[in-house]
């Protein structure tokens, strides 16, 4: 999944021959999972039709302050368009449009929307080589950069004039890659490696039966998504679960038993910056696993159990630079038990939740947690969705590692 997934992208198209490439650009934005709306200058419609872009974006295309074919003259609200956008991409950005952007000339819907936008603005210049190097154009580049706008550099190649040189608009694939890389480079966990465990473990009794628990794995998967959204490279070690995730920054390692999870975690822990162990790992397993299905020969069945490996404690005993987070699901003496676990297992942070809280725990879309750090600072949160809890947790971790 691209970092652009779920984002609102407003594409501004000005009147240059490179406008024909915007059909591919819209398609790539949509393929990345973004929501796309298009604003065109009147002259850009000479190079590509609004119908093409509307079909590809699955949204109306805007090019004037009112709908030209609408007898009631409904106003296209440039303010709403500007505020809707998470990203504003002007491509192609002609010398004329760049000069207007630099000087605040507001004579069309695209410029009015640009002046109303509060989001990051990217622009991809497209013009002939002499225009590209002209002092007035160079000045426009500098002024726009001073406003915080981000230039997607033009490339060298054959131009519409027949000349070969700098001024060719970047290819659609390169524009998308540039924006993705720029966003990722600015994310607070870019370059960080995060290890997360999720779901239950199953400990076999025989080839058919197992000891397990009701964990769905949703909390761990949401934490993985939250870390990836912040730019982290995530290793997600997941026990048996129906949860799915598709993100370019998340590698899922499926496991079943405590031993498999232990081995997977230890194989990656050394190079991690953060480890968050949210899995509900089985504490005991059958001492002997039957090779054949156990038959019902009596009214009772006695199983001798032995302790499984304590994955969290094992990491706490070997951690060096890693920031280690554990979870505590309690039913009584919650704070005392969580604080004890925090110290015994050498954690930096523990996330406490209680089965006594309605809406918290397994198989729920919500959770109610309390954060306790290694200085025993306690932060209580109200009942929230697990998505929100994951975001709160990542913000808490960032605050502590950057302190």
pLDDT class of 107 with cuts at 50, 70, 90? very high
pLDDT at position 360 is 65
From residue 139, alpha-carbon distances to 15, 152, 183, 285 in Å are 20, 16, 25, 71
Taking every pair of C-alpha atoms in the chain, what is the biggest distance, in angstroms? 93
Burial of 238 (0-12, 13-18, 19+ CB in 10 A): buried
pLDDT for 228-275, tens place per residue? Answer: 999 999 999 999 999 999 888 999 999 999 999 999 999 999 999 999
Single residue among 185, 217, 232 that ends a domain in this structure: 185
Task: Reply yes or no on whether the pLDDT at 2 is more than 90.
Answer: no
Average model confidence (pLDDT) across the chain: 92
Query: Which of 102-140 are b and which e, b meaning 16 or more Cβ less than 10 Å from the residue's Cβ?
Result: beeeeebbbbbbbebbebbbbbbbbbbbebbeeeebeeb
DSSP letters for 84-110:
H-SEEEEEEE-HHHHHHHHHT---SHH
At residue 331, the pLDDT reads 75
Spatial contact of 197 and 279, defined as CB atoms under 8 Å apart: yes
Tell whether 175 and 230 lie within a shared domain: no
Is residue 295 over pLDDT 80?
Answer: yes
Q: Higher confidence at residue 355 or residue 44? A: 44
Identify the pLDDT of residue 74: 66
Residue 361's pLDDT is 64
Residue 73 pLDDT:
62
- Please report, for the domain that includes residue 315, its CATH number: 3.40.50.10300
- Known catalytic membership, residue 108: no
Least confident of 9-18, 363-372, 388-397: 363-372
Confidence of residue 158 (pLDDT cuts 50, 70, 90): confident
Which structural domain, as residue segments, surrounds residue 212? 193-401
User: Which of 8, 96, 213, 346 does the annotation list as catalytic?
Assistant: 213
Whether 163 is covered by a domain: the verdict is yes
Q: Is 24 exposed, middle or buried (0-12, 13-18, 19+ CB in 10 A)?
A: middle
Cα–Cα dist 228/217, whole Å: 17
Q: Which of 156, 185, 214 is the last residue of a domain?
A: 185
| Angle made by CA atoms 134, 138, 143, in degrees to the nearest 5 | 145
What does the alpha-carbon distance between residue 123 and residue 144 come to, in Å, rounded to a whole number?
A: 9
Q: Write down the pLDDT at residue 266.
A: 98
Read off the pLDDT band of 68 (50, 70, 90).
low
- pLDDT confidence tier of residue 13, bands split at 50, 70 and 90: very high
If asked whether residues 218 and 363 sit together in one domain, one would say yes
Q: How far apart are CA 394 and CA 189, in angstroms?
A: 10
Alpha carbon distance 16, 47 (integer Å) = 7
Cβ atoms of 180 and 2 within 8 Å: the answer is: yes
Q: pLDDT-based confidence at 363, cuts 50/70/90?
A: low
Residues whose CB is less than 8 angstroms from the CB of residue 5 and which lie 6 or more positions away in sequence, other chains included: 32, 33, 34
Whether residue 221 sits in one domain with residue 173: no
Per the DSSP assignment, residues forming a β-bridge with 253 are 237
Cα 242 to Cα 191: distance, rounded to the nearest angstrom? 29
Place of tokens 């240059």: 16
Domain count, the chain: 2
Helix (H) or strand (E) holding 325: strand 323-330
In the structure, what pLDDT confidence band is assigned to residue 76 with cuts at 50, 70 and 90?
A: confident
Tokens of 17: 């021959």
Same domain, 25 and 110: yes
Closest CA to 276 of 337, 189, 213: 189
Over 287-312, what HEC string results?
CCCCCCCCCCCCCCCCCCEEECCCHH
pLDDT at residue 345, rounded to an integer: 96
Buried-state track 295-334, b at ≥16 Cβ within 10 A, e below 16: eeeeeeeeeeeeebebbbeebbeebeebbbbbbbbbeeeb
Res 156 pLDDT > 90 = no
Q: Which two tokens stand for residue 231?
A: 């730019």
Q: Is 195 helix (H, G, I), strand (E, B) or coil?
A: strand
pLDDT tens column, 392-402: 999 999 999 98
- Could you tell me if 113 and 47 are in contact, meaning their C-beta atoms sit under 8 angstroms apart? no
Residues of the chain with pLDDT > 70, as a percent, come to 97
pLDDT above 60: residue 71? no
- Same structural domain, 169 and 235: no
Encode pLDDT of 178-218 as tens digits.
Answer: 999 999 899 999 999 999 999 999 999 999 999 998 899 99
Residue after which a domain boundary falls, among 185, 202, 218: 185
The answer to whether residues 245 and 353 belong to one domain is yes
Q: Is residue 235 part of a domain?
A: yes
Q: Indicate if 280 and 369 belong to the same structural domain.
A: yes
CB of 232 within 8 A of CB of 154?
A: no
Residue 368 has pLDDT above 80, yes or no: yes
**Per-residue model confidence (pLDDT) at position 247:** 87
């Amino acid at each position: 999944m691209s970092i652009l997934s779920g984002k609102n992208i407003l594409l501004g198209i000005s009147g240059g021959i490179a406008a024909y490439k915007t059909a591919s650009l819209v398609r790539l934005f949509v393929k990345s999972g973004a929501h796309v709306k298009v604003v065109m200058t009147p002259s850009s419609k000479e190079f590509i039709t609004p119908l093409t872009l509307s079909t590809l974006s699955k949204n109306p295309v805007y090019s004037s302050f009112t709908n030209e074919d609408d007898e009631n003259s409904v106003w296209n609200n440039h303010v709403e368009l500007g505020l809707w956008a998470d990203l504003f991409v002007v491509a192609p950005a002609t010398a004329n449009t760049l000069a207007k952007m630099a000087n605040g000339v507001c004579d069309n819907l695209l410029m009015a929307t640009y002046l109303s936008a509060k989001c990051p603005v990217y622009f991809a210049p497209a013009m002939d080589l002499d225009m590209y190097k002209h002092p007035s154009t160079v000045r426009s580049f500098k002024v726009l950069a001073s406003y915080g706008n981000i230039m997607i550099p033009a490339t060298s190649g054959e131009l519409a004039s027949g000349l070969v040189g700098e001024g060719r608009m970047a290819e659609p694939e390169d524009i998308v890659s540039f924006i993705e890389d720029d966003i990722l480079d600015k994310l607070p966990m870019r370059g960080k490696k995060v290890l997360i465990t999720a779901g239950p473990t199953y400990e076999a009794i025989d080839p058919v039966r197992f000891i397990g628990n009701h964990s769905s794995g949703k909390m761990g998967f949401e934490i993985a998504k939250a870390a990836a959204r912040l730019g982290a490279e995530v290793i997600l070690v997941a026990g048996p679960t129906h949860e799915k995730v598709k993100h370019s920054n998340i590698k899922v390692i499926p496991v079943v038993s405590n031993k498999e999870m232990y081995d997977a975690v230890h194989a990656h822990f050394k190079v991690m910056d953060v480890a968050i162990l949210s899995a509900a790992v089985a504490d005991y397993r059958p001492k002997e696993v039957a090779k054949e299905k156990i038959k019902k020969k009596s009214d009772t069945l006695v199983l001798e159990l032995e302790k499984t490996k304590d994955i969290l404690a094992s990491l706490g005993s070997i951690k060096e630079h890693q920031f280690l987070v554990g979870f505590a699901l309690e039913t009584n003496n919650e704070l005392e038990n969580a604080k004890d676990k925090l110290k015994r297992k050498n954690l930096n942070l523990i996330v406490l939740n209680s089965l006594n809280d309605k809406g918290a725990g397994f198989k729920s879309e919500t959770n109610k947690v309390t954060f306790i750090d290694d200085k025993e600072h306690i932060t209580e949160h109200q009942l929230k969705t697990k998505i929100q809890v994951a975001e709160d947790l990542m913000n808490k971790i960032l605050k502590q590692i950057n302190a």
